[in-house]
Every structure is written in C-alpha cells, then in structure tokens.
Amino acid sequence: MNKKSKIYIAGHNGMVGSAIWRALEKEDYKNLVGKTSKELDLRNQQAVQEFFSKEKPEVVIDAAARVGGILANNDYPYPFLMENMQIQNNLIDSSHKADVQKFIFLGSSCIYPKLAPQPLKEEYLLTGPLEPTNEWYAIAKITGVKACEAIRKQYGKDFVSLMPTNLYGPFDNFDLKTSHVLPAMIRKFHEALSMLSTLETGVDKFEGSVDHAPVTLLGSGTPMREFLYVEDLAEAVVFALENKFTENLYNVGTGEDLTIRELALLIQKIVGHTGEIIWDSTKPDGTPRKLMDVSKMTSAGWKAKTTLEDGIRKTYQWFLENQGEFKEVKID
C-alpha cells in the first residue's frame, strides 16, 4: 500500500474511526480523508455518490454506524436496521462504482447466531437464529458482509470484512441510555464513587469507613463476553490494509472471554468502588456467550496485544480526563 494513497475513513470522529486515523498517521500515511455527519450524510445516496466523484478515494474504511447496547437496540429497532443499511450500502456501492481498490468493512460479532457453537467461527454465519435484542443491527451488518462478498466474488475486487468483538477504549460512548456494557459500568462505578463525598458529610472518618453508593447493573451477570481494546482493532485494520487476504470474512478479537460479573468486579477494582453491586435480573442478558475464534487472523499474522485490565485502566484514565465531553454517539 502506497503511503500517499488517498484513504477515506467513514466515521473518522467515532471511537473506532478516530483510532484507525491515529494508527494510520503513526504508520506515516499522508493522505487521509474524513467528513463529519454535518459535512456528509452517509444515509444520503446522492451526497455519497457526489463525494466519491469529487474526492476519488483509492481506499475506503467503513467505520461508520449507528451503534448502541441492548437497550438502544430494543428501543430503536427501525433506525438500527435502516440507517446502518443506508450507510453501508451507499459506501459499498459508491466504492464499487468509483473503482476503489480496497474496501474494509467493519461489522460486529453479533452477526453470528445466538446459540452458535463456541468459539464463533466465520463459517457459522447464517446457520441459526440471531439474538432478538440486537437482531436489527446484526441483520444490517450481515447485509454489508454479503454485499462485500458478492463484489469480491463477481468482480474480484479486494473488499474484505472484519468482525470485531466487543470494543472499548478512548472516545467510547458513556451515555447510559445507549452505551455498551463496559463503558456503562465505568460511568456507573465512577458516579457511585463520586457520591461518597455526599454520604460522608458530617461523618467522623476515624470511626470507620463508609461504603460507596451501590451500583445497579442490568441482567444476571452470567453471560460471557470478549472485549478488544479499540487501538488493537485499529492495528488490525492497518494490517488488513497492508496485506491481501485470501478470504472475505475475518474475526478480530482476543480469543479470551469472562463473565459480565467478573468484568464488573474488575472495573470496580480499577475505579476504586467499594459499595454493593445489585443485579437487576428482570433486564435481558442477551446472547449467553460470544467468544470469537480468531485463528484465521492469527494465521494471517495479526494478534491483539492489550490485556483487558490494561485496556480498562487506559479507558478509565481517558474518561477522567474528558468528563463532561461524553455524550450519545452520533454518526460521523
């Protein structure tokens, strides 16, 4: 890949897109293009086609999406389905028509069936029913994977799909109504920690310690999840950019998972919260387990480097330095 090739990163202001931008700059790529949602509405087919005609990118990385956790997917099924399809279809079709040399499509591990064997292999796609709580987003992403596969099959173009596991890191979404589980936990434990000063008002600290406020978490805590630090994913994207893959679909993850309860205890320790954890089992758990089989990426020559504890510590530090700036993620 020529370092001067024009590379368009769709969603360059989001957590994933910004990490990819930083990773490419680190590798001395000189010609990066990004547009905010105000500058270019990716849901608008004509606007996207005009952008491609004007800019003529040689490489496109699709990191743009409407994203959210279980509650957001449940509450807003139509935009999660339709807007994601509009975004990716416009980008894929315009890239194909503009003869883009390389297209990297980023999806999600939720594309795999709810009860698929573990760990999840790429060939399990479309072998069973999806998890109902996020099927809208999953179906949209599946159409993107199959569109890239169709172009690759029919036209021989280098369109490849990377399916990352659950992502977290700097610039994550910490809005409790729309965020994923890990950033939501960071915010909840931090806010409970911050309440201590109120609880301790007038208390003689020498008489004994006062626990932090309790934290209520959704579900039973028993499902197992795998988490990937976003900067590791960015390095995987650079790797995919600089290498020609032999297949169309690759899982990207760590190959290791833990229960949501174990995750909560780890975040609680890192934040320094000492109060009670209350599990609201009336809320849905989602898929019981989503562990990725990452053997194809490992065989290709890439492997994640950041441990979960180190990644959470870095993410919490970013959160502390940027409090007040987090808000619901918009499509950029």
Residues within the annotated binding site for NADP(+)?
Answer: 11-17, 106-109, 141, 164-167, 180
Residues within the annotated binding site?
Answer: 11-17, 106-109, 141, 164-167, 180, 188, 225, 285
Domain range summary for the chain, segments of one domain joined by +? 7-168+227-256+291-306
Active site residue 137: yes
- Counting as low any pLDDT under 50, the low residues of the chain are 197-209, 327-332
H/E stretch holding 249: strand 249-252
Give me the pLDDT at residue 324, please: 61
Give me the pLDDT at residue 177, please: 80
Helices (H), the chain: 15-26, 45-55, 70-75, 77-97, 135-155, 181-194, 196-199, 230-242, 260-271, 295-300, 308-321
Give me the pLDDT at residue 212, please: 86
Residues within the annotated binding site for substrate?
Answer: 188, 225, 285
Give me the pLDDT at residue 196, please: 59
Catalytic one of 8, 29, 112, 137:
137
User: What are the tens digits of pLDDT across the range 50-76?
Assistant: 999 999 999 999 999 987 777 777 888
Give me the pLDDT at residue 74, please: 80
Strand partners, 207: none
Please give the CATH architecture assigned to the domain spanning 7-168+227-256+291-306.
Answer: 3-Layer(aba) Sandwich (3.40)
Give the distance from CA 223 to its chain's centroid. Answer: 18
Give me the pLDDT at residue 202, please: 46
Give me the pLDDT at residue 238, please: 98
Give this prediction's pTM: 0.90
Calpha distance 328→72 (Å, rounded) = 11
Give me the pLDDT at residue 224, please: 95
3-state secondary structure of 132: helix
H/E stretch holding 105: strand 102-106
User: What are the tens digits of pLDDT across the range 132-161?
Assistant: 888 999 999 999 999 999 999 999 999 999
